[in-house]
Amino acid sequence: MTATTELAREIVTQPRTVERVVAGMPTSDGAGVKLTRVLTQSLQRRLDPYLMLDAFGTDDPQDYIGGFPSHPHRGFETITYMIAGRMRHRDSAGHEGLLQNGGVQWMTAGRGVVHSELPEQEDGRMEGFQLWLNLAAKDKMNAPWYRDIQSDTVPEFKTPEGVTVRVIAGASHGIAGAVQRETTQPLYLDLHFEAGSHFSQSLPAAHNAFVYVYRGELRVGDSPLPSQRMAILANGGDGVVLHADAPARALLVAGRPLNEPIVQHGPFVMNTKEEIFQAVQDSQAGRFERA
Ligand code: MN
């Protein structure tokens, strides 16, 4: 926790408005894991460089026990943020880690990994998020990269207005997050609001941004944002101001759009159909294991 006196102020004079509120789609993935796909494929262009946001949260082991057995990825990064529960990660690049309560796993698939994500609990609550962040064409075939960020190493501070901020990526109030990316400049904040608090964050006008409320509700200007809804923020202005009348928790995510073609086939996201065809061939030939 960083002392409040060291914090820089975020000055926002022209706050963004809500362009659209999205409910997400209930679905299942992996071996029958129930989740809500908040950022769906139809929003990839609008929310470039983000490709997907899944929210999962359940007390019923039947909803998560199968986990995500061995599967490949190529061409982007996966960021898993665990609020509650324990998940074991293993991949073909030799990385292994236990993701738990408040921890983050950042995996750059690059030219390819095969990995599994399996629960290490048979009962109790499992809750968290998986966000997919695209890689620029020039970076898609880079070597895989992986980092486990345990909860106590996620930079965290409390604003004078009463909001606890966990900085997963980017920077807020002068505090640098756990991960930085030069090309997509991701900002990924987990915000915990006290009743009657507000939070300001400056944002470059051209960066695409959204807010997902996972506890309580927020107001974005005059627009209410109910629980388990994503607000796509209109571009322009110089930032965003979020208000909470009662305790609430939300993710604020923004990034610099790549403005490149997006072609997705399941766990592969490339720029052309030919590159997708190559990814399928390489995967079937077992070449990802040696990536
Ligand atoms: Mn995966």
Sketch the domain layout of the chain as residue ranges. 18-290
Tens digit of each residue's pLDDT, the chain (291 residues): 655 568 999 999 999 999 999 998 999 999 999 999 999 999 999 999 999 999 999 999 999 999 999 999 999 999 999 999 999 999 998 999 999 999 999 999 999 999 999 999 889 999 999 999 999 999 999 999 999 999 999 999 999 999 999 999 999 999 999 999 999 999 999 999 999 999 999 999 999 999 999 999 999 988 999 999 999 999 999 999 999 999 999 999 999 999 999 999 999 999 999 999 999 999 999 988 765
29 Cα to the center of ligand 1, angstroms: 10
Q: How far is the CA of 1 from the centre of ligand 1 (A)?
A: 31
Q: Whole-prediction pTM value?
A: 0.96
CATH fold for the domain made of 18-290: Jelly Rolls (2.60.120)
Ligand 1 centroid–CA 68 distance in Å is 7
- In the reported structure, the alpha carbon of residue 56 is separated from the centroid of ligand 1 by a whole-number distance in angstroms of 14
How many Å lie between the centroid of ligand 1 and the Cα of residue 269?
13
Q: How far apart are CA 50 and CA 138, in angstroms?
A: 17
Q: How far is the CA of 70 from the centre of ligand 1 (A)?
A: 8
Distance between the two ends of the chain, CA-based, in angstroms? 38
pLDDT score, position 191: 98
| Separation of CA 116 and ligand 1 centre (Å) | 7
Where do we find the tokens 């060291």? Answer: 6
CA of 238 to the centre of ligand 1 (A): 34
Task: Tell me how far the alpha carbon of residue 9 lies from the centroid of ligand 1, in angstroms.
Answer: 37
**How high is the pLDDT of residue 285?**
93
What is the model's pLDDT at position 274? 98
